[in-house]
Amino acid sequence: MYKIYFVLLTTIALNYCKAQNTSPTVFIESASVNQTNKTITINYNLVDIDTDKCQVWLKYTKDGNGIFDSVTNNTSGDIGINILPGNSKTIIWSYPASISNINNVKFRLYASDGKTIDINELVNKVDSNLLKNNLNFIASGIRHLPTSTVFINKVRDTIETRFNDYKLLTEKQNFTINSYTGVNIIGTKLGLKNEASTFIIDAHYDGVSNGPAADDNGSGVVGMIEAARILSQYNFENSIKFIGFDFEESGLIGSAKYNQSGIKQTESIDGVLNFEMIGYYTNKINSQSTPTGFNLLFPEAYNALIADQFRGNFLVVCGNTNSNSLNSTFINTSKTYVPQLKNISIEVPQNGQIAPDFRRSDHASFWDNNKKALMLTDGADTRNLAYHTLGDSIGNLNFTFMSNIVKASIATIAVLAKPISISYAEYDISPVNIFSTKNYNFPPIIQVFPNPTSDEFTLKINANEKLNIALSLIDVNGKTIYESTLITAIGANVFQIKPNHITKGTYSLLLKSNNFNTSKVITFK
């Protein structure tokens, strides 16, 4: 152990709860800046199939790349609570004097219907077959430097590719140890209300030099990847990170480096679940041993072992004093959503120096940095006798047990990060959008009818110049389902659009040229 002018982003529309709720969708039609009055006027459309009143709010970042700060005042119009769905809505924001260069600003407009999300939906998506397939690859070579540079690089690339596939914000933290480059791989699902508040699921992907290291810690790696696959499909109020740590087997070096220099100043790490060997399970009597002094430090846990005849059929949930609330949340959430998973909770005093056996993984780096963290483990060599040997292979592991641990962890992170039924549109301010008192070249007048429609619609464009327009029809999952190029003349232009095999629902119609970008909402019934 050890410069796009306009970008439209929407959430994955998910059917939530028994009422089959669908998230609202917000589209920014245009935005303009008046530098004389220091105001931004935003015109947008709000669609909610369930016609729910929504909360609408605005966030911005000054440099286009940093944390998005909430706009808490100096706004008017269709913003706040109880906003009814509809078109042609307007927000006017008097932006602060602290924004010295409006050209660099990026803002996001959010809409939420406030509907709750059934966490069972997330839990039920865990796929034991995917866990096994992924572990077949992870445990097919040596993941240890300098023993196997080639294979550990393949594992690194795989983790990075999965994070990118799940549309996580993916980055790498490189560091040097004994002339070798260590790599922490980080995938982030940004929170849409409290971006700074961050919860982590991590696992070290390096192994020992003399075996496949399936349990230690291939099991943790595939558990983290599966959690990332599922949680990335949803949106949350708070941020979630997934981290593959390197050089754990050399003394928790990767996680120590992360705690030293990988946490951004704008972040608050509010809870960490460290997957450290989560695959070994047995109901055999006397299959579970304990470290020396365990019975004295943790008498309640020891008595539970006695009552079950020392069977190795449980998850160890280990936290320190500072992590007591996180430990309780995990235990209670597990009981609610994964009652078949048996847990034994351990709370080590302070940072665990009195119980060094419970500091043998990356959670200890977070403890030492005064962060709440849990080690989730099958007990390592106190249960799995193949620990750190050639026998630590996939055939010894129990994927039902592993799945249940991932389920409980997903549920816990969801409870903490708070899933939200939401969409947002993102807009880059640029010189083409800015005016003061000068003349402004307005985009063409565009009409869509009939709307709603059954299978086709007419697009009327009154243009003041010849245009090449890229047309895209995008569903609420962000998938482009129809594309076309329109060439206009000066004056009135009429186009008949008939997408093939379109299903009922609400879509975003995006129109882009060199001179303008705009969107319309269209519904097929």
The pLDDT tens digits of the residues spanning 154-163 come to 999 999 999 9
pLDDT at 75 > cutoff 90: yes
Work out the percent of the chain whose per-residue pLDDT is above 90: 67
| 169-218 confidence digits (pLDDT tens) | 999 999 999 999 999 999 999 999 999 999 999 999 999 999 999 999 99
Q: Is the pLDDT of residue 277 over 90?
A: yes
- Tell me whether domains 3-116+421-440 and 443-525 share a fold: yes
Instruction: Give 435-482 pLDDT, tens digit per residue.
Output: 443 333 345 668 888 989 988 999 988 776 788 898 988 877 667 889
* Cα→Cα distances 511→281, 444, 457, 470, Å: 56, 11, 15, 6
pLDDT score for 330: 98
- pLDDT (0 to 100) of residue 478: 67
Task: Name the residue with higher pLDDT: 69 or 136.
Answer: 136
* Higher per-residue confidence, 478 vs 129: 129
CATH topology of domain 443-525: Immunoglobulin-like (2.60.40)
- Secondary-structure percent of the chain, ordered helix, strand, coil, rounded to 5: 25, 35, 40
Which 8-state DSSP code applies to residue 287? -
pLDDT tens sequence across 390-424: 999 999 999 999 999 999 999 999 999 999 998 88
Token digits of residue 183: 């790599």
> What pLDDT is attached to residue 65?
65
Residue whose token pair is 């083409």: 432
- Write phi, then psi, for 121 (nearest 5 degrees): -60, -40
Burial of residue 81 (CB within 10 Å: 0-12, 13-18, 19+) is exposed
Nearest partner of 94 among 43, 37, 29, judged by Cα: 37
For the sheet containing 86-94, what is the strand order? Answer: 75-77, 86-94, 39-47, 25-34, 434-435
The pLDDT of residue 432 is above 50? no
Please check the confidence at residue 20 and state whether its pLDDT lies above 70: no
Measuring CA to CA, which residue among 458, 463, 459 is closest to residue 491? 463
Q: Mean pLDDT score of the chain, rounded to an integer?
A: 89
- Whether the CB-CB separation of 452 and 30 falls below 8 Å is answered with no
Tell how strand 268-275 and strand 373-377 pair up: parallel
Of all helices (H) and strands (E), which one includes residue 318? Answer: strand 315-320
Residue 382 has pLDDT above 90, yes or no: yes
Q: How much is the pLDDT for 3? A: 30
CB-CB neighbours of 436 under 10 Å:
10
pLDDT tops 50 at residue 19: no
Whole-number Å distance between alpha carbons of 259 and 250: 16
Q: Is the pLDDT of residue 1 over 70?
A: no
Question: What is the rounded distance in angstroms from the CA atom of residue 26 to the CA atom of residue 508?
Answer: 9
Q: What pLDDT is attached to residue 51?
A: 85
Q: What are the domain boundaries of the chain?
A: 3-116+421-440, 119-282+322-417, 443-525
Report pTM: 0.79
pLDDT at 18: 40
pLDDT one-digit tens code per residue, 280-299? 999 999 999 999 999 999 99
Q: What is the mean pLDDT of residues 139-144?
A: 96
CATH of domain 3-116+421-440: 2.60.40
Whether the Cβ atoms of residue 469 and residue 511 lie closer than 8 Å to each other: yes
Q: Does residue 266 register a pLDDT over 90?
A: no
Q: What residues pair up with 41 in beta bridges, in sequence order? A: 32, 92
pLDDT digits (tens, 9 = 90+) for 330-359: 999 999 999 999 999 999 999 999 999 999
Residue 516 has pLDDT above 80, yes or no: no
- Among candidate residues 150, 156, 383, the one with its CA nearest the CA of residue 279: 383
Task: Answer yes or no: are the C-beta atoms of 131 and 222 closer than 8 Å.
Answer: yes
Half-sphere exposure of 139 (CA within 13 A, CB side): 29
Q: Which of 298, 251, 287, 281 is nearest to 377 (CA)?
A: 281
| 326 — pLDDT class (breaks 50, 70, 90) | very high
| Confidence tier at 505 by pLDDT (50, 70, 90) | confident
Q: What is the pLDDT of residue 509?
A: 86
Q: Are 240 and 173 in contact (CB under 8 A)?
A: no
Residue-level pLDDT at 5: 31
Q: What superfamily in CATH does domain 119-282+322-417 come from?
A: Zn peptidases (3.40.630.10)
pLDDT 10s digits, 245-264: 999 999 999 999 999 999 99
pLDDT of res. 64: 62
Q: Give 128's contacts (C-beta < 8 A, 6+ positions apart).
A: 399, 400, 402, 403
Q: Is 86 a residue whose pLDDT tops 80?
A: yes
